[in-house]
């Protein structure tokens, strides 16, 4: 029915589409307030798909000039940055500028810049991945999608964030931000490619590429944090519903694994296919876990700008907010708010009841009516909420802090979240000093649970 060549082309075509769907579905899900039109997304994807034509012509010019990888360390680094990095980032950026100008009436909130920039970059990577799949076979499907696709999206987002961050957030300077964003994206792109293809420090060289990749993911999510916080359509209740953002990633990744398995089975045998899928998922498993967890974590606080920092997605913590505690001595947390911290967003600005977990030893003695006033991130991103609590007379009010409980038991009756009630002497001082304030310096009172 189909020729062998036609069948061979079917696999990379489907693989490129599935890879694009993996990240498109995430971009759609994180756009929590106002979804973009399908027609606009398709237009941006098509523009991005055409942009590699520019790079091919530029690379041809470099070839004529004799500027290419030649095995010399200095030459290869220069070509990776000023050849590959500059060419591909500016090619994608040209596509982004076209999309922004055509769709300017539909760009209504800060996150739209990141969404459309990401879609253009995906279009670029779809075309690039098709070439790779056609040349090397579909056994590189999952790796290219998980790593290379996202790297393109991240670097284009860095460029766009640098170009537009001053106008949106009024931080830094217009030209300084633009120069920094373009420079970081170009150098990041170039060095990432260089470390994947050249063994400067032997088999450990790809580890350097992984470091760039992980820091880039953290940049990307920080961009989304600020864009969401500054949306003119900001709504705590809508944000509270945007949980488990990792689900589309895992779904489409599994689809890619199945396609990779079918490809290997068709061209080799079932034993080879099983081995190929097993070792690929084993090699990518830790990276997939870190990526899925990090892109699921946001730091949401209306009109709050978080400075962009060079950080790894996972860090060591001693603030009773770890996600994992290996052997009881290595508490680690994925950056951003985990599911138990995030669920408290639904109470922002609302009247709730704070109920003592154990009335026998409680200082509160009974449940108290309270209002959740503000949200604060302490030193090392410890999440706390400022609450105004009525006393027994229901007239005078006291100010306390709530820290969501994230370890051990964190719910009562599978519905009411548990928190630690904390006291701080002066709420005005706390407002000014909270960024440098350690969680350990606060005074814990007791554990409570919250009822809406």
CB 310 within 8 A of CB 290: no
Summarize the confidence of residues 147-166 as an average pLDDT: 94
Final residue belonging to a domain, choices 251, 282, 303: 303
One domain for residues 359 and 295: no
One domain for residues 148 and 195: yes
Query: Do β-strands 411-412 and 324-326 pair in parallel, antiparallel, or remain unpaired?
Result: unpaired
CB 148 within 8 A of CB 129: yes
Final residue belonging to a domain, choices 243, 277, 303: 303
One domain for residues 282 and 397: no
Assess if residue 328 is contained within a domain: no
For residue 42, what is the enclosing H or E element?
Answer: helix 38-50
* Alpha carbons 115 and 36: distance in angstroms, whole number: 9
CB 449 within 8 A of CB 355: yes
Count: domains in the chain: 2
Which residue's entry shows tokens 């005005």? 428
One domain for residues 192 and 118: yes
Summarize the confidence of residues 129-151 as an average pLDDT: 77
Assess if residue 310 is contained within a domain: no
pLDDT of residue 71: 81
One domain for residues 353 and 238: no
pLDDT of residue 413: 67
Residue 375 has phi, psi (to 5 degrees) of -120, 135
SS3 content of the chain, % helix, strand, coil (to 5): 60, 15, 25
One domain for residues 356 and 281: no
Final residue belonging to a domain, choices 246, 280, 303: 303
Poorest-confidence range of 133-137, 238-242, 247-251, 412-416?
Answer: 133-137
Q: Write out pLDDT tens, residues 56-102.
A: 999 999 988 888 888 888 898 999 999 999 999 999 999 999 999 99
Among 216, 202, 212, smallest CA distance to 80 is for 212
- Fill in the DSSP letter of residue 105: G
Assess if residue 193 is contained within a domain: yes
Q: How confident is the model at residue 137 (pLDDT cuts 50, 70, 90)?
A: low
* Alpha carbons 141 and 260: distance in angstroms, whole number: 7
One domain for residues 180 and 65: yes
One domain for residues 129 and 77: yes
Query: How big is the CA angle at 263 (ends 259 and 267), to the nearest 5 degrees?
Result: 170
Summarize the confidence of residues 1-8 as an average pLDDT: 61
Assess if residue 248 is contained within a domain: yes
Q: Write out pLDDT tens, residues 195-228.
A: 888 877 777 788 898 899 999 999 999 999 999 9
One domain for residues 293 and 385: no
One domain for residues 234 and 375: no
Assess if residue 195 is contained within a domain: yes
Assess if residue 329 is contained within a domain: no
Structural domain harbouring 389: 339-451
Assess if residue 317 is contained within a domain: no
pLDDT of residue 17: 84
The pLDDT > 90 percentage for the chain reads 42
pLDDT of residue 184: 97
One domain for residues 253 and 343: no
Instruction: Supply the DSSP string of 155-207, one letter for each residue.
Output: HHHHHHHHHHHHHHH--S-HHHHHHHHHHHHHHHHHHHHHHHH--TTGGGHHH
One domain for residues 55 and 105: yes
For residue 388, what is the enclosing H or E element?
Answer: strand 383-390
* Alpha carbons 291 and 28: distance in angstroms, whole number: 17
Assess if residue 325 is contained within a domain: no
Q: Write out pLDDT tens, residues 359-406.
A: 888 888 888 899 998 899 998 899 999 998 887 665 567 888 999 988
């Amino acid at each position: 029915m189909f020729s062998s060549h036609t069948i061979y082309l079917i696999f990379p075509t489907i693989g490129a589409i599935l890879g694009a769907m993996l990240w498109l579905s995430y971009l759609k899900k994180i756009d929590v307030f106002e979804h973009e039109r399908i027609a606009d997304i398709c237009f941006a994807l098509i523009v991005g798909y055409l942009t590699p034509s520019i790079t091919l012509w530029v690379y041809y010019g470099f070839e004529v000039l004799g500027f290419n990888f030649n095995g010399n360390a200095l030459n290869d680094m220069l070509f990776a940055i000023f050849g590959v990095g500059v060419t591909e980032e500016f090619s994608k950026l040209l596509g982004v500028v076209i999309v922004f100008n055509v769709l300017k009436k539909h760009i209504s909130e800060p996150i739209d810049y990141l969404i459309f920039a990401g879609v253009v970059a995906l279009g670029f990577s779809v075309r690039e991945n098709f070439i790779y799949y056609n040349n090397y076979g579909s056994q590189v499907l999952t790796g290219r999608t998980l790593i290379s696709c996202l790297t393109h999206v991240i670097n284009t987002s860095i460029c766009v964030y640098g170009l537009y961050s001053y106008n949106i957030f009024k931080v830094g300077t217009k030209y300084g931000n633009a120069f920094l964003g373009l420079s970081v994206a170009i150098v990041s792109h170039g060095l990432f490619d260089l470390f994947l293809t050249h063994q400067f420090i032997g088999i450990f060289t790809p580890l350097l590429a992984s470091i760039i990749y992980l820091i880039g993911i953290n940049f990307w999510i920080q961009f989304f944090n600020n864009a969401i916080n500054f949306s003119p359509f900001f709504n705590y209740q809508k944000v509270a519903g945007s949980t488990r953002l990792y689900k589309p990633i895992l779904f489409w990744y599994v689809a890619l694994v199945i396609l990779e398995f079918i490809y290997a089975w068709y061209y080799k045998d079932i034993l080879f296919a099983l081995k190929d899928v097993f070792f690929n998922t084993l090699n990518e498993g830790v990276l997939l876990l870190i990526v899925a967890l990090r892109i699921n974590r946001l730091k949401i606080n209306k009109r709050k700008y978080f400075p962009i920092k060079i950080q790894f997605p996972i860090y060591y913590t001693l603030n009773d907010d770890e996600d994992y505690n290996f052997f009881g001595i290595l508490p680690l947390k994925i950056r951003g708010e985990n599911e138990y911290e995030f669920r408290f967003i639904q109470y922002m600005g609302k009247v709730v009841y704070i109920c003592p977990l154990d009335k026998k030893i409680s200082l509160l003695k009974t449940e108290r009516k309270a209002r959740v006033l503000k949200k604060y991130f302490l030193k090392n991103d410890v999440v706390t909420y400022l609450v105004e609590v009525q006393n027994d007379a229901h007239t005078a009010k006291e100010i306390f802090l709530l820290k969501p409980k994230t370890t051990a038991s964190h719910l009562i009756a599978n519905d009411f979240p548990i928190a630690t009630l904390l006291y701080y002497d002066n709420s005005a001082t706390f407002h000014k000093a909270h960024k440098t304030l350690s969680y350990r310096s606060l005074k814990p009172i007791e554990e409570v649970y919250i009822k809406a």
